[in-house]
């Protein structure tokens, strides 16, 4: 891809794939005796940021799974959160009594995850866990839910690629990078 900005690689394609495979194994082991074809693992991929991570991770989870999608918007074409997150698609059929795994791209302020957690917890799943690819090291203003399956800890910088965008561009980079000034 020809980029008009300079991007410094933070996590390579190979590093991502290795970690995603490990997470897939951890998740498979954790839910092995909890799910079945009758009661599949409900994997909720938060769009659009977690679409690529979610697609890769789901294929490394060797269990009967039901893939669902929800869209939460918190950044509106900027690199800083603009407002409270909003949910655009809802989980159509119920998740009551189900094991639910939410797949998210990144934990930044934590607002999105808290919002998603509160929304889904009301639907009474038997368990609700989070798989988050990137966790930014920073002081968070809200109390975030425990992240059971974590990809990488990163410093507090704006990152792009592997699903993450800057003004909706660069989601299709196969690696994670930082924009250089
Ligand atoms: P939070 O609500 O502040 O934790 O933000 C989470 C959402 O903001 C993520 O799901 C991302 O979509 C977006 N986001 C946060 N940090 C970044 C970043 O560094 N690059 C791109 N998107 C980000
Ligand atoms: Mg997101």
Would you say 97 and 125 are in contact if contact means Cβ atoms under 8 Å apart? yes
Quick check: CB of 145 below 6 Å from ligand 1?
A: no
Which residue's CA is the closest to the ligand 1 atom numbered 22? 164
* 25 φ, ψ (degrees, to nearest 5): -65, -45
What is the bridge-based pairing of β-strands 41-47 and 65-73? parallel
- Whether the per-residue pLDDT at 7 is higher than 60: the answer is yes
- 108 as an active site residue: the answer is yes
- Whether the per-residue pLDDT at 6 is higher than 70: the answer is yes
Half-sphere exposure (CA, 13 Å, Cβ side) for 180?
Answer: 7
Quick check: CB of 163 below 6 Å from ligand 1?
A: no
Per the listing, tokens 């989601």 go with: 171
Quick check: CB of 110 below 6 Å from ligand 1?
A: yes
Residues in the chain: 181
Closest ligand to the CA of 75: 1
Q: Name the more confident of 139 and 49.
A: 49
pLDDT band at 81 (very low <50, low <70, confident <90, very high): low
For the chain, give the percent of residues with pLDDT over 70: 91
Per-residue pLDDT reduced to its tens digit, 148-158: 999 999 999 99
- Whether the per-residue pLDDT at 103 is higher than 70: the answer is yes
Q: What is the mean pLDDT of the chain?
A: 91
Q: What is the DSSP string of 50-65?
A: THHHHHHHHTT--S-E
């Amino acid at each position: 891809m020809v980029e008009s900005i300079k991007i410094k690689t933070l996590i390579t394609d190979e590093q991502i794939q290795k970690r995603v495979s490990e997470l897939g194994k951890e998740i498979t082991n954790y839910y092995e005796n909890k799910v079945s074809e009758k009661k599949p693992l409900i994997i909720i991929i938060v769009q659009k940021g977690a679409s690529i991570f979610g697609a890769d991770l789901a294929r490394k989870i060797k269990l009967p799974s039901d893939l669902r999608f929800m869209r939460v918007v918190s950044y509106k074409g900027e690199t800083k959160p603009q407002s409270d997150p909003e949910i655009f698609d809802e989980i159509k059929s119920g998740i009551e009594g189900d094991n639910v795994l939410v797949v998210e791209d990144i934990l930044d302020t934590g607002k999105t995850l808290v919002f998603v957690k509160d929304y889904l917890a009301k639907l009474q799943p038997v368990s609700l866990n989070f798989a988050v690819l990137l966790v930014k090291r920073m002081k968070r203003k809200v109390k975030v839910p425990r992240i059971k399956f974590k990809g990488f800890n990163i410093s507090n910088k704006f990152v792009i690629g592997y699903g993450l965008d800057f003004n909706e561009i660069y989601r299709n980079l196969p690696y994670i990078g930082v924009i250089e000034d």
